[in-house]
Amino acid sequence: MAPKLQLAIYWAAACGGCDVAILDTDEKILNIAEAADIVLWPIAMDFKYEDIYKMEPGSIDVCLFNGAIRTSEQEELAKALRARSKFMIAFGACAAWGGIPSLANLTNREGIFNTVYKETATTINEEDIRPDTNYPGPEGELHLPRIYDRVWSLDQVVDVDYYVPGCPPTPETIWTAILAIVTGNLPPKGTVIGGTKSLCDTCEREKTEKKITQFKRPFEIIADPKKCLLEQGLVCCGPVTRDGCGHRCTNNNMPCRGCYGPSEKVSDQGAKLLNAIASIMDVKDEKSAQELAATWEDPAGTVYRFSLAKSLIYDYKKGGE
Amino acid sequence: MSDHKIGVYVCHCGSNINGVVNCAKVTEEIGKIGEVVVAKDYKYMCSDPGQEMIKNDIKEKGLDRVVIAACSPRMHEPTFRRALEGAGLNGYLLEMANIREHVSWVTKDKEEATKKALSLVKGAVKRVKLHEPIEEREVPVTNTTLVLGGGISGIQAALQVAEAGHKVYLIEQKQYIGGNMAKFDKTFPTLDCAACILTPKMVDVGQSPNIELYTSSEVIKVDGYVGNFTVTVREKPRYINHDKCTGCGDCASACIMKNRIPHEFDEGLSKRSAAYIPFPQAVPLKAVIDDGNCLFLTRKKCTLACVKACGAKAINFNQHETIHEFKVGSIILATGFDLFDAKRAPQYGYGRYANVINGLQFERMTNASGPTSGHITLADGTEPKSVAVIHCVGSRDENYNKYCSRVCCMSSVKFAHLVKDHCDAEVYEFYIDMRTFGKGYEEFYNRVQEEGVHFVRGKGAEVAQIDGRLVVIAEDTLLGQYREIPVDMVILNTALEPRVDAEKVAQTLGISRSGDGFFMESHIKLDPVTTTTDGIYLAGCCQSPKDIPDSVAQGSAAAAQSLAIIATGKVKISPISASIDSEQCAGCRICIGLCTYRAIKLNEETLRAEINEAVCKGCGTCAAGCPSGAIRVSHFNDDQLLAQIEGVLA
């Protein structure tokens, strides 16, 4: 019998949904357990930092790393795991493109701290106490990880071999990825395990010429299930997003949220979508453009919902941490 | 990564660039980049020795990419492309960094300028590595021309093309050709009778074997590209059989609606029938039945007196609109102007006071074949004793049009002369500045000044009626006084405006309009006749207000453009165009509505977008709008642009 796959699962700036998604493979989790020894999975089993540092370089076959990088601890662990793993996989939208946590890049550490520790209506913090990296406790000085000024995707911190997209990845996508690793049937480095076309391409809704006369939010209308959602005023990320998710949102009459990341030829998902939507707004002058744009709630959060860390703008704004 | 041999040439442009940018330093710094094997600066790169230098380096040092830091590529990119091609290198393996318009001309700070120039050159070096050799394409042309608009400039263009022996389709929206000029009485500065000089040309159009004239017609669709347009034209019915109608006018005399409908040709100063001849010299000289006013066509209730009166049996109420399709190599747009509606400036009382008229109405009044047989009369039929001419109504006015309409000063002076000539009334001209440029114009102005016309320097602010008399209120800026001048008649010389359907025409033809609404030329100074769409040319007032000589000149120029295409027999098409990766195209159709040139269509079978590369101008709008990144513009693809940005920011 071939030696079992040494599998590590780690989470950084994440919600835990990716870990749950692995369990969501239902009975296949047993096949995973059969094929692999899980050497690290903090959400499910107890591990200490030392357990990782004791591992030899290359002793982990595959590391499924979910979550974005926004603290010194997460960066350190990402580097430690990278050094010990044959394959580093950015698992889920946060690890791949920064995900929802990277919307924090619309502001910075100071802005976030101001909101959380000062400005919200329910906050009472008269001494203006902020998180600190050092605390002189009675048992000696304690250290906490430092929060960075911006959020990074995993590949902005360490070398990544494959990407498993999704928020969270669907069981089918996870299984495809695991099967590829177990069978050794590996795609070229850098491959995103998903479709090769855009979601819009494989969407079966009826498309006509696009014109947006008013932006709608999903709760405001019951969309026609046969027609293109974008044409009904719902901002659907389908045109710029990779397929392979099984159209779970659009099949349920909800616009695509973009969690499978940019499609094959798209480098900046949000910029592309913003451009496309601006192109089909039915306006005749600047004034009507502004009026129509005002009916769109949170454009930046919509187009960059899962990929702000990989926005070109931030790539050229390097500096700081 | 392959290794390139890049030559970088930094042009001093005399002191234009070198006076601000330290060209030697830029050259020295850029020479340190690994793949840059030649870095030189020179006084004038565009000169023969400059170009020779590049050619020699390509041959001797085996350069495979060239960067030239100089002026705008709009100026000399073709020059340097030819230089590369002269040395056997594809012209598109060149990149220009604009360090003149973008650097030395916009700052005096030498240090910053040198830094920026270096950044731009670095961007160009990074970008040029990703350039691919591309070839210009040639397509054959159809040797016919379509002229849209039968005013003086359209007539001029059509006649010139026809005289050269080529077929012209002349399309006119009205029922006759001649345009606004046909309504004029005299023309400045020579006081030639407008009809006397225009009618022969109109007749020539009617008789030319090479001109097919379509009146009451409009273009509804344009497909194709330079050399190969397909134009669809809708011809409205006149309810008259052209072959039978002799233009006798018996139908007009018999029509029950006789003298009941304001006559457009006389600017409403006379009344016509529902069946009528537009004007005595009309080409074609055929009757027309106005379907908006004909009782039979609107209500099916009429004694049909016209049918009984027509000896030629030419009236046919069963006519329908006809759709024509023409294959043409080029299109000349000569759609003219609309006159500013003086009712939009209510302070002048137009439409409220009977004796406030506009310039075109005055032209009709003084015209011997016009509604008053050439007599200048007030509404009550008497002659005025004093007349005011107000310039710039709707022109040079922040509230309406900012531009100068160019012809009004001269036509106002002409009006003054005609008043003096016809009835010897006192004439007051209210002007902001007197603009009498042009051959013989200033002389004409001097002549009219000597005729005793009162020139008041100050814009006519208001026309009021006080005690039953018109009073023009103005500030006389020369006297520094507020003035109220009572007059019998006021002529408002109104602005020339883009035609009301200009936007529709622009969309149908896929051309642009400038901020003032007139059709946009390729270059306001050096290319005022061509549009940004190859094969579509502009003539006359549809491009900007102009007088008759300029309209005629532009008509001839447009004809020359069209003949040039025919003479070469083929046209070169820029190789910079967009293409679609059908694997990545989702068929979302976002791009289709974006393309100004209508180069993109959806293939109904594959449900993928397709680009007609011959029509594509390579503007890149579709590539920017394409959400799946399926569209790629050659020579401006994402990789090249990102490399350039990276280089600039490095």
- Domain with residue B102: its CATH number is 3.40.50.960
Split at pLDDT 50, 70, 90, the class of A319 is very low
| Statement: residue B7 has pLDDT above 70 | yes
**B393-407 confidence digits (pLDDT tens):** 999 999 999 999 999
Mutation to test the B interface, candidates A230, A231, A264, A265, most B Cβ within 10 Å: A265
From first CA to last CA, the distance across chain A in angstroms is 46
Q: Name which of B592, B624, B628 is nearest A265 (Cβ-Cβ).
A: B628
Residues B124 and B168 in one domain: no
Q: Number of structural domains, chain B?
A: 5
User: What values do phi and psi take at A277, rounded to 5?
Assistant: -70, -40
Determine whether the interchain pair A239/B627 forms a contact, defined as Cβ–Cβ distance below 8 Å. Answer: yes
% residues pLDDT > 90 (chain B): 88
Query: In Å, how far is B628's CA from the nearest CA of chain A?
Result: 5
Residues A122 and A253 in one domain: no
Token duo for residue A168: 């969270």
- pLDDT top residue among B153 and A210: B153
Mutation to test the B interface, candidates A230, A235, A240, A312, most B Cβ within 10 Å: A240
Q: Say what angle helices B548-568 and B152-163 make with each other, to 10 degrees.
A: 30
Residues B367 and B489 in one domain: yes
Query: Rounded mean pLDDT of B210-237?
Result: 94
Residue A193 placed within a domain? no
3-class state of residue B577 by DSSP: coil
Determine whether the interchain pair B625/A276 forms a contact, defined as Cβ–Cβ distance below 8 Å. Answer: yes
What is the spatial order of strands in the sheet that B481-487 belongs to? Answer: B460-466, B469-476, B481-487
Split at pLDDT 50, 70, 90, the class of B133 is very high
Count of CB atoms situated within 10 Å of the CB of B371:
19
Concatenate the DSSP letters of all residues of B430-479 into one string. EESS----STTHHHHHHHHHHTTPEEEES-EEEEEEETTEEEEEEEETTT
Residues B354 and B478 in one domain: yes
| Statement: residue B24 has pLDDT above 80 | yes
Residues B277 and B399 in one domain: no
Mutation to test the B interface, candidates A200, A205, A282, A286, most B Cβ within 10 Å: A200
**A147-199 confidence digits (pLDDT tens):** 999 999 999 999 999 999 999 999 999 999 988 988 888 999 999 999 999 99
ipTM of the complex: 0.82
* Cα–Cα distance measured from residue A67 to residue A99, given in angstroms and rounded to the nearest whole number: 8
User: Smallest Cα–Cα separation from B465: which of B354, B314, B357?
Assistant: B354
Query: In Å, how far is B650's CA from the nearest CA of chain A?
Result: 10
Determine whether the interchain pair B588/A239 forms a contact, defined as Cβ–Cβ distance below 8 Å. Answer: yes
| Statement: residue B283 has pLDDT above 80 | yes
pLDDT on residue B616: 87
CB contact at 8 A, A261 and A242: yes
| Statement: residue A317 has pLDDT above 80 | no
* Cα–Cα distance measured from residue B258 to residue B306, given in angstroms and rounded to the nearest whole number: 11
Residue B552 placed within a domain? yes
| Statement: residue A320 has pLDDT above 50 | no
Residues A233 and A265 in one domain: yes
Q: Rounding to the nearest 10 degrees, give the CA dihedral for residues B503, B506, B512, B513.
A: -40
* Cα–Cα distance measured from residue A268 to residue A47, given in angstroms and rounded to the nearest whole number: 37
Query: Rounded mean pLDDT of A252-279?
Result: 93
Residues A94 and A222 in one domain: no
Please tell me which residue of chain B has the smallest CA distance to A239. B627
Residues A155 and A31 in one domain: yes
CB contact at 8 A, A189 and A162: yes
Token duo for residue A61: 């076959």
**B166-209 confidence digits (pLDDT tens):** 999 999 999 999 999 999 999 999 999 999 999 999 999 999 99
3-class state of residue B175 by DSSP: coil
Token duo for residue B541: 């007032």
The label of the residue with tokens 């400038």 reads B514
Q: Say what angle helices B441-450 and B408-423 make with each other, to 10 degrees.
A: 40
The label of the residue with tokens 């160019």 reads B406
| Statement: residue B571 has pLDDT above 90 | no
Q: Number of structural domains, chain A?
A: 3
B593 interaction partners in chain A (CB closer than 8 Å): 209-211, 279-280
- CATH code, A82: 3.40.50.700
* DSSP-derived secondary structure letter, A23: H
Determine whether the interchain pair A264/B645 forms a contact, defined as Cβ–Cβ distance below 8 Å. Answer: no
pLDDT on residue B181: 96
B630 interface with A at CB cutoff 8 Å:
yes
B650 interface with A at CB cutoff 8 Å:
no
Residues B493 and B615 in one domain: no
Partners of residue A90 on adjacent β-strands:
A65, A163
pLDDT on residue A209: 82
Determine whether the interchain pair B629/A239 forms a contact, defined as Cβ–Cβ distance below 8 Å. Answer: no
* Cα–Cα distance measured from residue B323 to residue B219, given in angstroms and rounded to the nearest whole number: 10
* Cα–Cα distance measured from residue B270 to residue B525, given in angstroms and rounded to the nearest whole number: 42
Residues B180 and B281 in one domain: no
Residues A238 and A290 in one domain: yes
Question: What amino acid occupies position A288?
Answer: S
For residue B105, what are the contacts with CB-CB under 8 A and spacing of at least 6?
A: B16
Determine whether the interchain pair A200/B624 forms a contact, defined as Cβ–Cβ distance below 8 Å. Answer: no
B479 interface with A at CB cutoff 8 Å:
no
User: What values do phi and psi take at B615, rounded to 5?
Assistant: -85, -30
Residues B79 and B119 in one domain: yes
| Statement: residue A318 has pLDDT above 60 | no
Query: Rounded mean pLDDT of B125-130?
Result: 96
- CATH code, B224: 3.50.50.60
**B517 CB-contact burial (10 Å; exposed 0-12 / middle 13-18 / buried 19+):** middle
B628 interface with A at CB cutoff 8 Å:
yes
Residues B79 and B49 in one domain: yes
Chain A residues at the B interface, defined by Cβ less than 8 Å, are 196-198, 200-201, 203, 207-211, 228, 230, 238-240, 263-267, 272-273, 275-276, 279-280, 312, 316
B645 interface with A at CB cutoff 8 Å:
yes
Residues A234 and A256 in one domain: yes
Residues A77 and A169 in one domain: yes
**B592-643 confidence digits (pLDDT tens):** 988 888 899 999 999 999 998 878 888 899 999 999 999 999 999 989 999 9
CB contact at 8 A, A18 and A91: yes
Determine whether the interchain pair B628/A240 forms a contact, defined as Cβ–Cβ distance below 8 Å. Answer: yes
Residues A31 and A178 in one domain: yes
Determine whether the interchain pair A267/B586 forms a contact, defined as Cβ–Cβ distance below 8 Å. Answer: no
Give A268-271's long-range contacts (Cβ < 8 A, gap of 24+).
A268/A307, A268/A310, A268/A311, A268/A312, A269/A97, A269/A237, A269/A240, A269/A241, A269/A303, A269/A304, A269/A306, A269/A307, A269/A310, A270/A300, A270/A303, A270/A304, A270/A307, A270/A308, A270/A311, A271/A303, A271/A311, A271/A312
* Cα–Cα distance measured from residue B375 to residue B422, given in angstroms and rounded to the nearest whole number: 7
Concatenate the DSSP letters of all residues of B53-108 into one string. HHHHHHHHH---EEEEEES-HHHHHHHHHHHHHHTTS-GGGEEEEE-IIIIITT--
Residues B210 and B144 in one domain: yes
* Cα–Cα distance measured from residue B463 to residue B389, given in angstroms and rounded to the nearest whole number: 11
Determine whether the interchain pair A198/B584 forms a contact, defined as Cβ–Cβ distance below 8 Å. Answer: yes
| Statement: residue B2 has pLDDT above 80 | no
**B488-540 confidence digits (pLDDT tens):** 999 999 999 999 999 999 999 989 999 999 999 988 888 899 998 889 999 99
Residue A191 placed within a domain? no
Residues A138 and A25 in one domain: no
Determine whether the interchain pair A239/B586 forms a contact, defined as Cβ–Cβ distance below 8 Å. Answer: yes
Residue A190 placed within a domain? no
pLDDT on residue A321: 45
| Statement: residue B126 has pLDDT above 60 | yes
Low-confidence winner among A21-35, B344-358, B488-502, B542-556 (lowest mean pLDDT): A21-35
Query: Rounded mean pLDDT of B547-553?
Result: 97
CA atoms within 13 A on the CB side of A60: 26
B638 interaction partners in chain A (CB closer than 8 Å): 267
* DSSP-derived secondary structure letter, B422: H
Please tell me which residue of chain B has the smallest CA distance to A282. B593
Buried b (16+ CB within 10 A) or exposed e, B605-622: eeebbbbbbbbbbbbbbb
Residue B617 placed within a domain? yes
- CATH code, B609: 3.30.70.20
CA angle B200, B268, B354 (to 5 degrees): 130
* Cα–Cα distance measured from residue B154 to residue B164, given in angstroms and rounded to the nearest whole number: 16
* Cα–Cα distance measured from residue A290 to residue A128, given in angstroms and rounded to the nearest whole number: 39
Token duo for residue B557: 């120029």
CB contact at 8 A, B319 and B238: yes
CA-CA-CA-CA torsion sign (A41, A43, A48, A53): positive
* Cα–Cα distance measured from residue B200 to residue B362, given in angstroms and rounded to the nearest whole number: 24
Residues B539 and B525 in one domain: yes
Q: Name which of A211, A228, A265 is nearest B629 (Cβ-Cβ).
A: A265
Provide the domain limits for residue A140.
109-146
Query: In Å, how far is B35's CA from the nearest CA of chain A?
Result: 24
Residue A169 placed within a domain? yes
CB contact at 8 A, A48 and A40: no
pLDDT on residue A154: 97
Q: Name which of B590, B628, B649 is nearest A266 (Cβ-Cβ).
A: B628
Split at pLDDT 50, 70, 90, the class of B261 is very high
B576 interface with A at CB cutoff 8 Å:
no
Residues B550 and B435 in one domain: no
Residues A84 and A113 in one domain: no
Residue A189 placed within a domain? no
Residues A61 and A116 in one domain: no
Residue A235 placed within a domain? yes
Provide the domain limits for residue B62.
6-128
B423 interface with A at CB cutoff 8 Å:
no
Mean pLDDT, all residues of chain A:
91
* Cα–Cα distance measured from residue A202 to residue A239, given in angstroms and rounded to the nearest whole number: 10
Concatenate the DSSP letters of all residues of B182-241 into one string. GG-SEETTTTEEHHHHHHHHHHHHHH-TTEEEE-SEEEEEEEEETTEEEEEEEE---SB-
Query: Rounded mean pLDDT of A77-103?
Result: 96
Determine whether the interchain pair A267/B593 forms a contact, defined as Cβ–Cβ distance below 8 Å. Answer: no
Residues B382 and B332 in one domain: no
Please tell me which residue of chain A has the smallest CA distance to B628. A240
Determine whether the interchain pair B589/A201 forms a contact, defined as Cβ–Cβ distance below 8 Å. Answer: no
Residue A205 placed within a domain? yes
Residue B133 placed within a domain? no
pLDDT on residue B558: 98
Query: In Å, how far is B384's CA from the nearest CA of chain A?
Result: 47
